[in-house]
């Protein structure tokens, strides 16, 4: 087995006041958005003895952090300015139950005014480190 070193990094930063289920939702939805934008980061399906096949996983690790709402706004601005891939999870979509309503919650809100529940970013590792500066590693 070889240790693969990635020149890119995926980081998720969730707001520090979210409930556990919200943190998990934010992580799942935002990382799915990054994977949809670049299918090359997804590996091959897994095949187990007996022929059972399950879905593929991301090929690189995902680092999860937390930050205050204000810091998330700063992180989102940095990500946009630095041109890294980003997906946002606006707080307002916790109250909706379909994609059309999710989109409607932000259609009239300027990017820098969205109340962010979480963000996922992907790009060159050094750029991502600069983008997420001030986020805190989440420990159980």
- Beta bridge partners of residue 88, listed in sequence order: 119
Contact 84, 13 (CB under 8 A): no
Q: Mean pLDDT over residues 63-85, rounded?
A: 95
Taking residue 106's Cβ as centre, other Cβ atoms within 10 Å add up to 16
Q: Mean pLDDT over residues 53-70, rounded?
A: 94
The residue extents of the domains of the chain are 8-137
At residue 1 the predicted structure's pLDDT band, cuts being 50, 70 and 90, is: very low
Multiple choice CATH, 8-137, 3.40.1490.10, 3.30.930.10, 1.10.760.10, 3.40.190.10: 3.40.1490.10
Contact 33, 122 (CB under 8 A): no
Q: Is the pLDDT of residue 138 over 60?
A: no
What pLDDT, in 10s, does the model give residues 7-58? 899 999 999 999 999 999 999 999 999 999 999 999 999 999 999 999 999 9
């Amino acid at each position: 087995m070889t240790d693969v070193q990635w020149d890119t990094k995926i980081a998720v930063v969730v707001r520090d006041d979210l409930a556990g289920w919200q943190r998990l939702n934010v992580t799942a939805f935002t990382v799915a958005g990054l994977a949809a934008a670049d299918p090359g980061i997804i590996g091959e399906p897994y095949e187990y003895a007996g022929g059972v096949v399950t879905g593929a996983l991301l090929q690189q690790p995902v680092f999860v952090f937390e930050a205050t709402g204000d810091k998330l706004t700063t992180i989102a601005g940095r990500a946009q300015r630095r041109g890294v891939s980003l997906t946002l999870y606006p707080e307002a979509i916790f109250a909706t139950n379909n994609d059309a309503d999710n989109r409607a919650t932000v259609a009239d809100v300027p990017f820098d005014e969205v109340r962010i529940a979480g963000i996922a970013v992907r790009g060159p590792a050094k750029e991502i480190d600069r983008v997420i500066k001030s986020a805190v590693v989440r420990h159980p």
